[in-house]
A and B are shown apart, each in its own frame.
Chain A
Amino acid sequence: MRRLLQAWLSLGLLVGASAGWAQSAGNPPVSSAPISQHQEASIRQWLMRLHDAARSRSYVGTFVVTAGDSMSSSRIWHVCDGQQQIERVDALTGTARSTFRRNEQVMTFLPERRVVISEFRDALGMFPNLLNGADSSIAQHYRLKVLGRQRVAGLDSDVVQLVPADALRFGYRVWTERETGVVVKLQTLDAAQGVLEQAAFSELKLGEPVSMAKLAALMDDTKGYQVKKQTLVKTTAAQEGWQFKGQVAGFKPMACHKRVSSDPSARQGSTLQWVFSDGLASVSLFIENFDAKRHKNMVRHDQFAMGATHMLTRRLGDWWITAVGEVPLQTLALFAQGLERKQ
């Protein structure tokens, strides 16, 4: 990591070199300088390293997520044998649950209900694609700024900031352990560099021996549990009769799912989820049939915030649109506005 940072510095890629960037904390920087190939490659390299570090290491730790005055925490075990990786996440706050992940398969055990939810999450395997776009969004819309060093959970870490190039997205501060590149702390920042949310290891033991066999066995042992499979149907927006006519710089459609309600009495039918991403932030557009009874409360109160996540709802003819994402509300408004029914 050190060599990489020095390479960046020598190429003059940092704050001072880019044109028109404000140095003070208050103003979001605006850059009109075209992105250089070097910057693109460096951010990609940095992200690849982060991603590989998380995959290939074994570790045990406690993870704490804070937003405002509330906190959630969980205990994590992660092991990788080079081909497979398994992870277990036990909630320490809120409803008791144990989430197991093996590559893209996720099993969420809910002991209180004796239910385990089994699902496949394509998004987890999407990573390389996020970097290999012809117009790589991330480097276009975020600048990497080296901040310094700090200890997190007793580990020496490098701190960088991903500064958004516009007000459509949030910024991030990322702490990575110096030796391995594992992300140990992540802050989501608003335009004034206020911390919207923080996710961090309060304790982390890298290289801790974790038994893959044991975790796999726990994950597959559904005895005594009712297994519920996630009823998601992969589809395309076009197939469902929708198109996006808006322009939200950097965001590209990533996936589209239809969720069929398992409740036969529900009149709502299916919910469509259309996911967009700029490489770091994602937005989900949910489309359901408009139901006056369910949605009437929402007409008066239609915008919400929770930590870094924002939500916006509105009616579009016979449909009800909900936009959710780790982006500012004005960005969600653009998404909601850009959605159109195909004729």
Chain B
Amino acid sequence: MTDTSMANTELVSALVDGQVRGDEFAQAMALLERSGEARQSWHAYHVVGETLRTGQADVSAHEADFVLRLRASLRQETMPLHLQAAPDSLNLKTVVPSAQDPQGKPRISANDHRWRLVVGLASVAMVGVIAWQGFQGSASPQAQLASAPAAQAASSSPLAVGSAPVMLRDPQLDALLAAHRQFGGTSALQMPAGFLRNATFEEGAR
């Protein structure tokens, strides 16, 4: 192990013992996000600890599978909005966000921008993955505009069921997206959330 990766993995050990805060915690999380080896260490350290404490090792043959299976289920979960009532607030129902795409899509890493086709969804917006999802537009643009911008319960326009999903890489689309994020961000919510959101996404690939 190189010196830097040693220093990094030490963070994982310190994380096990609750010894990292602030910057170090953020770094530890970033490492565990990108490195399977780091996650392996997280697992192994806990096995070591339990074995020492209980005198027995306990691992099963399917622990990684368990996590993968759970991950697929969690993908459909968004944090429900549970609020404590404000003293004068109206009695509002808990808002339950609708489920996402039931088909478990492979996890796409944050730096893998792939454009994807999506078979005609009632709401494209619902299948929010960071990869671009493209789908076949209707033959004439006019058809889409027929749905007037007035009160419609419809979410993003229903589209013709088209081709099967295809993954494409398109740096051109990425470049325009980046330009939109950098210079198109005129929003009253820009500071700090909007700017930070854009800055967090930016790839700087120009």
Contact = CB atoms under 8 A, between A and B. Distances in A.
Nearest to A142: B188
Q: What class of interface size applies to chain B in its complex with A?
A: 35 or more
B84 A167 contact: no
Contacts of A159: 81, 83
A58 interface: no
Tell me whether chain B's interface is mostly helix, strand or loop, or mixed. Answer: loop
Given A25-B96, A150-B83, A130 B185 contact: no
Contacts of A153: none
Contact of A337 (B108, B129, B145): B145
B156 A329 contact: yes
Contacts of B81: 147, 150, 159, 173
A318 interface: no
Given A190-B155, A194-B97, A167 B191 contact: no
Interface string B43-83: 00000000000000000000000000000000100100111
A166 B151 contact: yes
Contact of B200 (A30, A63, A121): A63
B36 interface: no
A196 interface: yes
Given A93-B111, A255-B183, A25 B156 contact: no
Contacts of B206: 117, 228
Interface string A122-161: 1110110011000000100000001111100000001100
Nearest to A138: B188
Contact of A70 (B107, B179, B196): B107
Contact of A72 (B118, B170, B201): B201
Max chain B C-beta neighbours (<10 A), residue from A121, A193, A305: A305
A303 B159 contact: yes
Contacts of B118: 305
Given A14-B90, A30-B151, A203-B26, A307 B141 contact: no
A269 interface: no
A115 B100 CA distance: 39
Nearest to A52: B191
A283 B151 CA distance: 21
A328 B125 contact: yes
B129 A74 contact: no
A183 B173 CA distance: 30
A102 interface: no
Given A78-B192, A92-B29, A283-B184, A70 B86 contact: no
Interface of B: 22-23, 25-27, 29-30, 33-34, 75, 78, 81-86, 88-90, 92-93, 95-98, 100, 105, 107-111, 115, 117-118, 123-137, 141-142, 144-145, 147, 149-157, 159, 163, 166, 168, 170, 172-173, 176-177, 179-180, 182-197, 199-206
